[in-house]
Amino acid sequence: SQQGEEDPQALSIQEGENATMNCSYKTSINNLQWYRQNSGRGLVHLILIRSNEREKHSGRLRVTLDTSKKSSSLLITASRAADTASYFCAPQASGGSYIPTFGRGTSLIVHP
Amino acid sequence: KAGVTQTPRYLIKTRGQQVTLSCSPISGHRSVSWYQQTPGQGLQFLFEYFSETQRNKGNFPGRFSGRQFSNSRSEMNVSTLELGDSALYLCASSLGQFKSETQYFGPGTRLLVL
């Protein structure tokens, strides 16, 4: 099954700074989703980008997708302490199952 | 709509015992997926049930099993528990009809095996 690999594994920044996380995958996809997980809790869906889209925005989130490089990035602008969480990408493979598969995530710490 | 609920939230068991975890999906959702999350392995897919049938399965031993009832509620069972089964078990629900669906996660059941 298709699995995303997030990079970096951990990221520590100050409030107000931007945070960028990357995701790489191996096969062609229909779409790619980003999720957030606060410590020890369930995942929350953030944004979905389809394979024919290159960029998508949602509030302070900006997601890009480069299908030629099989990579995506999530940018959080003007980060806040409340953004502290783990972030996962979930590529949905073309011809694959309905179920997104997740990597190990990027652990983001935003210091107040 | 009420969100995905999981019971119990915390559980302590000893090696060799078995455990059953429960998940109630969002009303109208017919797909329920289970994941195991550990610090070492990350978030790993266990299996997915849709309309009472297992539709997808991850790479876990037969000690891990599940089922889904006619009201879409799902249970997973782990038999002969091992120390390595200590993890956060998450379930997620979705409509189960389209490939671009969002998964809605429950808060998880944290299992500790002693």
Structure confidence by residue, pLDDT tens digits, A55-76: 999 999 999 999 999 999 999 9
pLDDT at A96: 64
pLDDT tens digits in sequence order for chain B, 114 residues long? 689 999 999 999 999 999 999 999 999 999 999 999 998 888 899 999 999 999 989 999 999 999 999 999 999 999 999 999 999 999 999 988 776 688 899 999 999 999
Task: Kindly tell me if the per-residue pLDDT of A110 is higher than 80.
Answer: yes
Best A7, A97, A98 residue to mutate vs chain B (most B CBs within 10 Å): A98
Q: In terms of CA atoms, which chain B residue is nearest residue A46?
A: B102
Give SS3 for A100: coil
Contact criterion met (CB < 8 Å) for A100 and B103 = yes
**Which among A1, A48, A101 has CB closest to B100?**
A48
Which residues fall within 8 angstroms of residue B81, CB to CB, at 6 or more apart? B13, B14, B15, B16, B17, B18, B19, B113
CB-CB neighbors (< 8 A) of B35 in chain A: 102
Longest dimension (CA), chain B: 40
Task: Kindly tell me if the per-residue pLDDT of A1 is higher than 60.
Answer: no
Give SS3 for B9: coil
Task: Kindly tell me if the per-residue pLDDT of A86 is higher than 80.
Answer: yes
Instruction: Say which amino acid occupies B14.
Output: T
Q: Tell me whether B95 touches chain A (CB under 8 Å).
A: no
pLDDT at A97: 65
Q: In terms of CA atoms, which chain A residue is nearest residue B109?
A: A41
CB-CB neighbors (< 8 A) of A40 in chain B: 88, 108, 110
CA A59 vs. chain centroid, Å, equals: 15
CB-CB neighbors (< 8 A) of B53 in chain A: none
Q: What are A59's strand-pairing partners?
A: none
Instruction: Say which amino acid occupies A2.
Output: Q
